[in-house]
Structure 1
Amino acid sequence: MNFKNQSRNLRQKLVVSTACVATIAAFGAPAVSALTEAGQSIQNQAVATYNDSLGNTYTAQSNLASVVVKQVYFATLDGDQTRVAASNQTAYFPHVLTNTGNGPDTFTISVAQDNTTADSGDFSNLDVYIDSNDNGVVDAGEVLASTVTLAAGEKVSVVVAGLIPTATDGQTFGSTLTVTSANGTIEDITTGKGLDGLDGTNEDTVTISGDAVLSVIKSSVHDEENNEITYTVTVSNTGNIAATDVSIFDGIPAGTTLKAGSVLYSGFGTAIDPLDLDADNDVLGEVALGIDINGDNDLLDTSEAQLGIDLDGDGVLDGTGKDGVYGFDSALAPGSSVNLSFTVEYDQSLLGAGAEIKNTAHVSADLDGDGLTNEGFISSNTTLSISPQDYSVDATDTGVGEDDTVNDGGDDDGAANDIQEVATAQAGELVLFKHVITNTGNGTDTFGLDIANQTNFPAGTSYTIWNETGTVQLLNTNGRDGVDTGPMASGSSLTVLVKVQLPSGSGSVAGTSTYDLIATSSEDPSGTPSSNATQGRLLEIVAPTVDLSNDTADNNALLNKDVYNNDAVAVTTEVANPGDSVDFTLVIQNDSQVADSFQLGAGQSFIGGTLGSLPAGWNVTFRDPSGTIVTTTPSIGAGATLTLTATVSIPSTPTQSLADREFVIDDNGNDTVDTNGDGDGDYAIFFRVASVNTGASDIKLDAVDVSAREDITLFQDNSGQIQPGGSIDYPHTVRNDGNTVEAVSLAAVSGTTGWSNNVLIDTDGVDGPDTPFAALTTGDTLYYLDASSNLVAGTLDANGDLSLESGESLPFIVRAFAPTSAPNGQLDIITVTADFNLGADTVTNVDRSEVVNSQLRMTKTASVDASCADIATDNLGPDVGFTGASGTAAPADCVVWQVVATNTGVDTISTIDITDSIPAYSTYAAGTLRICAGNAGQGVTEACTFTQLTDAAADDEGTYANQDIRYTLGQGANEIITNGELASGQSVTVRFSSIVE
């Protein structure tokens, strides 16, 4: 077959061949592997979850550990070049240096004469230049290469230019390009590391030819804004004879398509028509073109593999044909050239950022004039364009996971509407929102995540961003502001979990609360980096709840067991005696969605939302299951329960443990609790739990029914002397020492014929008992002392009895009368009785009266000197008048005790010895012994003048020793009373003070 003739049918033809577009999968990844950038901090933080003994789950985070990526140094240099050139011309050898390390590096570039194989001489001139436009030749303005600094992944094109001296056909000239780095080795990626087998060098060789010499130069212009690349191929004959049957073919780069109408050409002559290719032969190949492209002496090669040419620049010799453009010129004279240009388009999203778009033009021609194109093809320099990165991000809701009852991060509205919705949450709860971040750009990017535009969330709400499962908190991976996603490949999605911690004490919040999660590109260099926002929405914040009940929990967060309705109905009533204690079982069920701790309280009322105090003298202790006394519960998990025992201690004091209790306990004014229906009022015990964190609280009512204890005390037994026909008053007090209300009836019966008595009651509140009890009728007023010793008025009931409540007392006098005929030494015994408990019980005192002619009457009274302010005065400074019941004294007050001794007989008496002792609950006030001659009276101003005595013995009338006080009057004493005698009707008054403890 005559190949030359077949090829001549293509004279001065230009054709554009377009087959199917190669896909991104066929194009492959960028040639430079992406190492982690030097200096990048790699951070790590561990998270642990654990449970306590109550089953509460807690999360603990470790400290943040980090390592910094060390710089590693790698680079490649490609590759050895061979050229054919004419004598006295410049031969160009393009090379590419690539920094494949992970940080910037500085390289030294030099070129030297000769290489391993070329030995015909030196170039007349030899230099290496930076090939700024990557067209494989030295252009005006391009500078010599000496040192260059490249960032990680960055490439630089250099071109070695050697001026060939006068030479003959077949001579060879060589050069060695050397690149060094102080930090690492430069890998020669020529097969077998090139002619010298060494790294760091490329060896170039040019062979001198007297035939046609074709220079094929390829340039490109990258329009990144419109995603277009325009290629220009210039074929020049720099040889000595014409090149014939010149075929130019250029494959469309993988991942691109030819732009319609973009093919331009010049220098091919005037009669250029498109080559008609049918549908079956529309690719670059020897069958379609009718030329021996690869010089293997056949016209059968149609695929890259058969041709041995990577037409589309994807680095793979495929077994299929490739689209491309083609031009033909039958003869290209020395010194002339032709140009072919075309434009390709690409889809950024398909190629991906950083994709290398390589293009190499190829030329086949008859260079030696033998009529055959079997010299093989000549390739241009390879242009490299990088697919620019498109920065784009989409932040959305999940649109799935609808379940209003579960706080699991799902989207409760179930709609893909860019709003991740949670229906309800409780104050103090950790609310979970899932969002999806998708890298919709065409390259790997990292997206900063910010929470912004928060509305209606209570103050103190915190926001953190975690991985989808909530086990690892996202970190700042790139050293820029804030939390980020970490590197995300194009098209990949990342589900993140926003944890919103509501403050525990905020209570319910009306209205919808929202925030925006904003994802912003960290790599976008523009002033307004690409960003997108999605919203988290919480429809309702409710107050958390807790359920307090007796014995068992209801295990229902929507039900409040044992609720109190202001109805005075106790859930549990326990019966107890005064001085006893009873236990109540309390179950605390945490109905909130977060673990919580609760303060424990008890009181006798719950009015206006306030828990009252316990009744006086009552005490409540709370014990956990181990028996430990607690005032606050440990943390109780969401939905969990804790059982406690409340021990209520009842005081033994009757006034503090009444059998029938009335007390206003609630907002409805209820004052009697009698849930067990026994007819008497019980003690209300409100139990309350209140969260120390969230404000959740609950209250319930239990009760203690105190058993009745009837106890009336009558005191005191008395004795005295009386003259015939005279009288004597004996003081008594009847007091209710039980815990019930008692009706008391009084009586006094003389035991000796002729003797009589009256029981005197105070009916006007002035100067003590003054009216015979027997003279009173139903409804008459009488005065008695309440439980605090205050004088109060009461009335006589229909049975002639006085009702005394617990702690109340009635002072009264039994006045005894002796007949005028009573002989000296006669004794009368009066039996004084107080009947109570409906007459079933009686208490008795005895008053003994003896008839004497010589009689000393002793009257003991008391007053109070507040704060012992007048302890140093002669009269000891009583603040109020002296009475048998002087009212109240506070601790640290002084009680001024007074004794008036009066001779009520007819004879003079002598050798008088008065003794007393310091009463319990008080201590003697040193230096307070006082005496005056006469009856000082009962007022604050005395009717006689007091003299101060020492506490020592045998120096005056007074002595204090060992809690005992003694006053001596008469023979041997330092007498104030003349001769130590008291005549009939005369008195002596003594005083001392004791300090209330």
Structure 2
Amino acid sequence: MNMTNTTPSSSATARRRSCLRVAFALLVLASFALFAHAAAPLVNTAIGNQASATYKDDSGVERTVLSNTVTTLVQQVYDLDLKQDNARTSNPGGQVFFPHTVTNLGNGIDTFTLGAVDGGGATTLGSIAIYIDADGDGNPDNFTSIGTTGPLAAGASFRFIVAATVPPGATVGSAGTVTVTATSTNGGDTPIVETNTDTVTLTNDAVLQVTKAATRGSGLPGTPVKYTITYRNIGNSAATNLKITDIIQPGLTYVDGSARWSVNPTQTLTDASADTEAVSGIDYNFVGTTATFVIASVAPGVSGYVTVEVTVDAGQAPGTITNTADYEFETGSGPTTVPLTSTNTVPFEVLPEVSLTFEGPATPLEPVPASGSVSFNNVLTNNGTGTDTFNIVVDTAGLGTAGKFPAGTTFQLFKSDRATPLTDTNGDGIPDTGPVAANGTYTVVLRANIPGNAAATDTTLSVTKTATSTVNPIQSAPATDTIAGITGAGVDLLGQSPATDGLGDSGTTIVNTETGNPGSTVTFTLNVKNTGPNPDTFDLIAWTNGTDAGTPTFGSSLPPGWTVVFKDGANNGVVSNTGIILADSTRTYTAEVTIPVGTSPGDISVWFRSQSPSTGAADNLRDRVTVDTVRGITIQTNNAGQIFPGGSVIYQHILTNTGNVTEGLLGAPNTLAIALANSLDGSAFTSVVYYDVDNNGTIDAGDKIVDTAAGGLLSSVKSDGLPKGESIRLLVKVQAPIGAADGAVNITTITATPAPGVDVGSAGAPAAVSNADATSVIRGNLTIVKEQSVDGGGTWTQEQRSAMPGGQIRYRITVTNVGSADAENIAVNDTVPVHTAYDSSFSATITKGSGSPESFTPPSSSGAGTALLFNIGTLSPTQTAVITFAVKIDE
């Protein structure tokens, strides 16, 4: 019987719960697949939003300002589903069980309180209790009463049984009910409740319980199975002519003469329909595939059983065979025939018979060169009765020992197409064949990749794989792949003409030396000779650690700033590999080594390596770079800003030492002086420079003023000077006089000058460097502030707030002209945040100054990312415009 759950809720809550149920149903059906509709965001999802505004000042210059960002956290929503309404029959004084399932439809973990009380029918039920039914078989797992589900994840279910007792004095024909509830314990002031109704109808006649069971739930073909059909009269009168029919399903064969009755379980019931049974009170026959029992009478309180035996057919394909018995009987003085009723359905899982063979190539394959690869076809045959999947494992133990592939060999498994990697199809983490039908074959391809450093040998080498059934892991089969040996390879890396031999992997002699400045490039000549028997290619690799010592680790990254570019000596093209070089042939290349800016003076070793990616054959060469002494500084950047008369502005400059010695060190001859100059100095413009000690871009209490009037030496604020390659931040604060004319432009020049005529090492003093900061006096300027409200506009704030899925977030943007002139053509830009949609139910407005709100035309689309443009027009000085709009959180 299909029943409808009833839930006391408002229409809005019902709509929200309907959306949640659809979302969770799609999640279950689609598993991890993506779907296009917007579902309720998970609890604690952050929704952020920021606006921008563009405008033109009174000089016609278009400007842009950004608002702050406001963030909303998605709160947890609570919902549930409770199934199901039930109907049962009972005699007065009987006990009945009702199964139920509660499902968490919220967007986070929740716990549900369970309740069951008498529902107020004509018969009042007693001893009402709730028991756990974890396996969902309709019977209590134990008789410990419970009242809560415990924590349930979103989408999870909990099964339980409601038990009730019918009073002995209950009236026949009447009915009693139980009201079952499940309540979200975290639903807030208004609990979320789902309700079921269970009904029991009373009768004074026979009530039979008939169930069916099997001696086992699974087995191979040939397995014997005994079915037992148990009957029990829990009613108040006898049941007569109880007829039980059991149809033996295809795939099973009835065992002749196997039927028995519990009254005399050792006595065989005859299969023939015309025979008289040796045991009185029962008639039995088996015709075709149907076993029929007719029991003359079952008195109240009497129970018994009948059995039949079957055998799973030989060669039966794997799968589930279900079996259900039907029964009918007569009761009362009429008598009345109770309609045909089915027992529970009993499944039997036919297991496959598992057998397989796994065979590699019959003879060894040809020798393989070092760094080469070879593929083997291995044929797997499924000799079992059903489809099976076979895990494939390569035995890599003992690599490098006698008769095995060399150490460092890697193996790859491919599908029959020899190109697609063999993957794990059943989630156990092991590559497998995928399903192979009974009597089917599958070719597993093994590719062996020989390491480049493998020694040449003519010894036969082998590797073994094992195929294991996933249906019956006891069943497995090995397959062996062999090759007839390995061929070797070689290379020699030589210096410039006259050629100098390479050093192998351990030599340390310097071959060539080149001299250069930091930031310059030096070039070395390299000759690569293939000393192997076959054509080969060789990767060109460089290494340095920035010193003249150390052991090379080729393949690791070069120190920051160091670059090496290899070029073909024939066409000057950039290369990283030689391309094919014939056996006993040589090709010439150059290595262009760029020295990082700021590298200290001295000698630095640069190592080169030629290495075959296929054979691993390699050779090294060591060269040297001698770095000269260099001095240099830079300052960045030129700036432009606007201020009001009497206002100030701060500009940032980055002073960098591009040389390879420290500049401006306290007590050293190479001092570094900072100077400032204002183009409108006579108009009372002033400026001062700070050393930004904490490098945060703002003037703080700890920042130090560079006293330009006293020479502006950097060492006065930073005793360690400016080390090579390092940068410092200088902050220039420019102040305009109160009477500055609108449109006036002051140029502040900051200059850094190393000590003239002072040499360090072999390098002379670098030239002075400067930046210019252009400060314009303007009278128009805007500010923009973004706020949000999640309580219908009662409270506006820039702080983080929380809201429910389906909830509304209102935004308020306040634009103010803080300048001294009109700001024209003001336009504010915003977008609908992710996880929300534009809410047209709220009337968006633009209110300028003290005027009336003007309506805003909603956008044609409403989804996340939709652009919103609010045109304000002109704001006079101190005038304000306020924009309001709303979005709705996805649910």
Q: TM-score range by the shorter chain?
A: 0.3 to 0.5
Larger Cα Rg: Structure 1 or Structure 2? 1
Please report the TM-score for the alignment, with normalisation by the length of structure 1: 0.35
Please report the TM-score for the alignment, with normalisation by the length of structure 2: 0.38
**Which of 1 and 2 has higher RCO (CA within 8 Å, sep 6+)?**
2
